[in-house]
Structure 1
Amino acid sequence: MKVSSFTTVNFVQLSLESTIRDAISAFLSHRVDIGCVTTEDRKLLGILHKNAIYRALLENTPLDSSIRPLIKQDVVTIQKDQTLLDAREIMIEGNVSQAVVLDQHQNVFGIMSKLDLVYSNMTALEDTLNRMKSLVENLQDAVISVDSNLKITTFNHTVLDLLQLNGKTLLNAPIDLFLPDFRKGLIETMKTGQIQQAKRFSFKDLTVIASFIPIRELNRITGAMVVLRDVTSYEIIAAELETTNQLKRILDSALELAYDGVAVTDKHGLITMANQGFLDLFSLDQQDQLLGTPISKIAPQLPSELSLKMDKKIEGKLIEINQRKCIVAQMPIYQDGQKLGAIFKIIFRQLEAWRDLLFHMEKLESEISFYRGELSRISKDSDPFAHVITQNSQMEKFKQDAVIAAKSLSNVLITGESGTGKELIAEGIHRVSGCKGAFIKVNCGAIPEELLESEFFGYADGAFTGAKKGGKPGKFELANNGTLFLDEIGEMPVSLQVKLLRVLQEQEFERIGATKTTKVNVRIISATNKDLAELVRQGKFREDLYYRIHVIHLHIPPLRERLDDIPLLCRYFINKINFKTKRNIIGVSPEVASSLQTYHWPGNIRQLENVLERAFHYSSSEWIEIEHLPQELKLLPQEQVLSPKSKTTETQLPIDRKQSISRTEKEVILQALKKCRGNRTKAAELLGISRTTLYQKMKRYQIIEELEFRYT
């Protein structure tokens, strides 16, 4: 961590012309013990300590005397970009409790005290603890820790999900009460102080591998933890693999006994292996006669080119070889996407038995391949905002910022137009943060003003006529140790803003009609589609509340700035609506895709989902066509197509429906580029799209630059 993050920048700044009276006034105003004497351009001349003023006053020095004789010029300084460890060493070596922090131009940046160092160390410790907590909570393995008396002290959510336990009764309970099988391992670990790994346990219908780890504090063992990994699915797959291997050995033996033929070739069709049955079928004496020989030469009756060249699989084709009826099965062999060759099975005795065995074996191979794919997919699914559907680079950067915001303890303000998914992002931040409490939502614009206070703070028994007996908790109480999401916070009345600010500052409030103060620990996530800074300037939103909720700001880009996400979003919503309506729409036609990517989407993603859901009801085929769209997307008039923001254009763009929508967009982009003299940044701003989207559209329409912009 850097010194600049923990420096007190609101410091007392004095000049050589300052008097003792000026210094005392500044010290009282800032409530500090030290001031910096600087030049007009903030160059450090020295420091003035309050003790020097005390001594001067004891010597009856007049208050209007200059501070020059009291200035200490030998000052310990620190650079703002130095680390906290460097600052600590400098202050210890200088034997001072405060030091002046300078910037890269040697101007005074602020003052660092020992208290600031202590606070920075506490912040670093808290950050480390939060990271460790988040790491444990997001582990796929279950983690349980106990104290020296074998009472459960901590556990993660995986424990509850995997072992199907109740977290409310688990904490501080003896390990014997819920998990007696692990008692012996925990005791042995605390006794020996050694890690014990890979012990297999059966719990209900699960098979787990347990590792026992001692917990030390100040070189003393104070407890232990057990880490559990669910291997139930692995054992099932291992059993399936063993079954497959057994079937293979049985099949090899059966083929040899029945003299049925098996041959394997490389990708060029050269034989690499053949069994005795294959030799007998083609009247050959030794296998050496076959190796390296093209199978098409030895067995021209086999349609080998289907597997070797056309990658086709054949099951149960009936052919005649040397006046014998045979069933041929052949298939290409792949490994890691690379074709290795092909296998040919020729069954001419006990056909029914071998056919059943082959089908069963291939079915097992297919299932194993599926399980491997599922395991791989699950293991790689580590994106905490995977529910945010995007491939846009701007949105990917937004997701990274959201993860950083989630792992902090600061209040978050989410801004964006209606329909961009602000609530979805807020829920994701709460989920990633690992808060134990609930995620409580309040729409500040949907609750009547007279009910807002009782909704937020609740009320006591008998607070007013009609009050619920026993009182009612408010949203702050319900969100204790969790997250309170204030949607449409710009609609909150000013009268309630004052009370909300007090709760944010003090973390306590009183129910309506109550005399008892309730303390809470709540993180605030706010959302709005309004410009709060402008509301502050208009006096409609309190400035101090604005800065309280505006610690971390996340802005969700509108859909018109991430048009490259529309195909991905269409696939997601179509699958979602297919599942809900039990239909099987494949997708949208190219004409529809073009229309969707040239529309300005004032309602953003919510509007896109509604448009697709409407199209489902009107479509009777497997595709969504242009006629299934609402009228505003069918015609795409000039003002709805991506167009320059100026009120007039040199030529009126055609609105004829028969003309190509793509050509219309080409013309608009060309006009914008000409007007901006080829400046792509200004052209993108004029069109109301991002630079990335503009480059994508220029590439799509093959717009090139010569003496002027034109399209090929």
Structure 2
Amino acid sequence: MKVKSFTTVNYVDLSPLATIRETISAFLGYRVDIGCITKDNKLIGIVHKNSIYQALIDNSSLDDPIKPLINKNVITIQKEQSLYEAREIMVKGNVSQAVVLDQNQDVYGIMSKSDLVNSHMTAFQDTMSRMKSLIENLQDAVISVDSNLRITTYNQTAINLLNLNGKHLLEAPIDLFLPPFRRWLIETLKTGKIQDAKRITFQDLTVIASFIPIREVNLVTGAMVVLRDVTSYENIANELETTNRLKRILDSALELAYDGVVITDNNGQITMVNKGFMELYQIDNQLNVIGRPISKIAPQIPSEKSLKYNENMEGELIQINNHPCIVAQMPIYQEGKKFGAIFKIIFQQLEAWKDILHHMEKLESEISYYRGELYRISKETNPFSAVISINPKMERFKQDAAIAAKSLSNVLITGESGTGKELFAEGIHNLSGRKGAFIKVNCGAIPEELLESEFFGYADGAFTGAKKGGKPGKFELAHNGTLFLDEIGDMPSSLQVKLLRVLQEQEFERIGATKTTKVDVRIVAATNKDLAELVKQGVFREDLYYRIHVINLHIPPLRERLDDIPLLCNHFINKINSKTKKNIIGVAPDVINRFQNYHWPGNIRQLENVLERAFHYSHSKWIELDHLPKELDLLGTGNPLTIPARQEQNLSIDRKKSINQTEKEVILQALKKSKGNRTKAAELLGVSRTTLYQKMKKFQIKEELELRFTSS
């Protein structure tokens, strides 16, 4: 708290030429014991009532000037100082009152001991309020900040959950330790409303966070974040009937296998075995092997081929306990990441190996089904996980898309080219629960004369050159599923009529067919055009427009979500790194700054293309400005992103913080790769050691680096 908030500004202001009579009159009028002697609002000294009394006792006249009574040795404090600093100054000066000055050294007011007492009472009430909030939420992690986003309080649960060092937390900016929470804390301070149940990923931890405002005398003076580890929710999810059913399928498939089957995690720890494996290795109880390394239980199996080298092994003859066996193995993948391996051991009736292999293939099919179902469930849990964003507009859009997916209505996705309309359409299908396929049709890429056959298919002999037996159209392929009509604004008028009939009747006829085919298809359409305007122009049918325009989702363009650019850059750089032998650390801060000032007419697709081109032209560890395409207006020569004047200053501050955070993370990555060696880190970054030390001091990296190395 600041001195200015508790200063008495209604003070006695006297001229050096004032008389004792005028001074006494002012003291009585203001009911104070002290007056400030000023000239042009600059402090000359003070006069105290005790000095007046003594002068009168010494027979001074009421009309005598007070100049001889002025005390020029005055204790002063600044109005922007904290109350604790003010108290120390007054105690050290052994005074009960002090003159408060502003930044221009003009007199601002008087602070007395009573003012300090009032301020400390206020501070005490503030502390009690914060402590009460913490106690009420002790079952969760709690951290509070003041209006400047500096950490004021936290509980032990927060320290344990987030692996923080409590010594450096108090008064530290929230950005220093918990940057993902900054945006929601600002929103809470700004609106004074609770921001509830936000799913946030931080380092290796995923939490559900609620942001609660802290009020003092009806004013929002801070905020606190309440965190719960999402693991508790995942434990509940594991009890869902679907998961249990899939596990029973896997257990049954393993027990029906003729020979030995063992499954391990990515570290080679056994997670499942069947009776055949236990019989081969003479194991009485599964508990004796679950969780133990396969290399210890079954050292004859060359498990490193799948676990270490990611190789499939179709069949290899080995000896296990004097039994000739054929071993096959393969790694298990989910969403492109390996999370284990499966091993099949054929040892019974090798003369009938064909029959045995048939059953083993059936087992493998069951395992594949199980993986597929797990993948589908994970996609249903978060169908838009591939959308990289922290922007509030995009978060709201994803929530609206999830609601739309659960409905039965047709959906129209609008947005500029390159914003990811197809990605969201597929996510809506995955979340909808429809059992059919997701079929895509680009209405602008198929020749007009082929559109009808593409949509509705054709019967055997429908025309010369027709495929024998006919061909199903997109509607048949999408039966019980979703048909995604991309660029629907480019659909010819002739096909619009037929499409409308199918949407109304849910039936159609193949070209050249005599019977009607009924389908159950949900339409998700997308366009970057203004369909309402096309309706006015007579280019697009009004009745079809209202048929597909039941739910409208508009994807914000990239220029409206500039805070996502650092995340998107990092995502695309990692994506390109994984495809090539190069290892780019990241995008330079000045490039991020330029990116956030560009209007991006091609949106995210354009950003990815720009980064991919720059990646190949970069000969260092960074994407720099001179690696960018010259034909783009990324150098600020024209067409800059227009920002309202009242928002420009705040946006500039946010960008600067974003750039600083990016630069800091890159330095930390280099230090981590070099295991803390400053010289090697400087070489990786392409800077001098002096520059590296300056940056580390600027971002307070030394303390955080020690913390990270300690926790790792």
TM range (shorter): 0.3 to 0.5
Question: TM-score, structure 2 length as denominator?
Answer: 0.41
Question: TM-score, structure 1 length as denominator?
Answer: 0.41
